[in-house]
Amino acid sequence: MDSLRDVKPIKFIFSIFCLIFILSACNSTAELPRFVQPLKPDGTLSFLVVGDWGRRGSYNQSQVALQMGKIGKDLNVDFLISTGDNFYDDGIISPYDSQFQDSFTNIYTASSLQKPWYNVLGNHDYRGNVYAQLSPILRDLDCRWICLRSYVVDAEIVDIFFVDTTPFVDKYFDEPKDHVYDWRGVLPRNKYLNNLLMDVDVALQESMAKWKIVVGHHTIKSAGHHGITIELDKQLLPILEANEVDLYINGHDHCLEHISSINSGIQFMTSGGGSKAWKGDMNDWNPQEMRFYYDGQGFMSVYTSEAELRVVFYDGFGRILHRWSTCKKGVYSDI
């Protein structure tokens, strides 16, 4: 918390932002809570995406955070997104768990990263106290922290839909091994998933934004260690395709990856290199779809204007690995 005490004016601004977000969510008529994210004066928006990070700075988490701070300053990012697995190995046990300070507040200390962090839960987070990560107490400790199960960030030109993907995966229920998952608020599972899919579908249909981005922890398409998440491929992907989603962004696989769909306009982006990576395995994938794969640590940035969406992947040293952009007319190109 010492680092935040040094930026009291910024912390005050975040408190106002958080209040706006909370009031917006409470007043929303949609099924999914909705947070308002203002654009820059020039009508653009930029943000960083990192996943699978919370290891008290180890496994190069601090190194990745350092580079995120530098790139975040260069891009003047408006906020950050975490694709889940926020705290290893088993989430946090309470809002006062030291993991929150040691893996988040005391790691992402750069001034450029003192912006809202929009988080989803990963499977490792479900092995802890889920309600602790959802608790408003964490926002009192560090107002950057915004975490719900599923919700929408409304930024005028882009709507970002955060989806709770862990309850979709059968093996966590059928073959948990020695892991204990916190399913409070999820059971009965079928009702939870049916309602979630309906809410996501309705929210996507009602979106008038130029761009639609969906964020979840688990992969849909991936050549990495975990590969395709069959349950999402069958249940969530058809909804994304029907609603012409532009990007699906995930973590779970500890790599950086870009896959294009040959069946739709969806681009599948994996940003799961926030700390421990280097699995050393990559599955075969259709070369017509595989744009980029990096089995290592890093993060990605996203820039949007009314006409353009641009993605850049960086390694743990801040070096650019891959660029991709598209315009709203549907003509895209690798840069």
User: Which residues line the annotated binding site for Fe cation?
Assistant: 52, 85, 88, 123, 217, 252, 254
* Cα 100 from Cα 82, distance rounded (Å): 14
* Six token digits for residue 228: 């395709």
Cβ atoms < 10 Å from Cβ of 323: 15
Catalytic residue, chosen from 124, 218, 225, 226, is 226
Block residue for tokens 């699906």: 248
- Is the CB of residue 251 less than 8 Å from the CB of residue 122? yes
Sign of CA dihedral 274, 280, 282, 287: positive
Q: 16 by DSSP, 3-state: which?
A: helix
Sign of CA dihedral 228, 233, 239, 241: positive
- Is the CB of residue 221 less than 8 Å from the CB of residue 259? yes
Q: For residue 226, indicate whether it is catalytic.
A: yes
Q: Name the residues annotated as catalytic.
A: 226
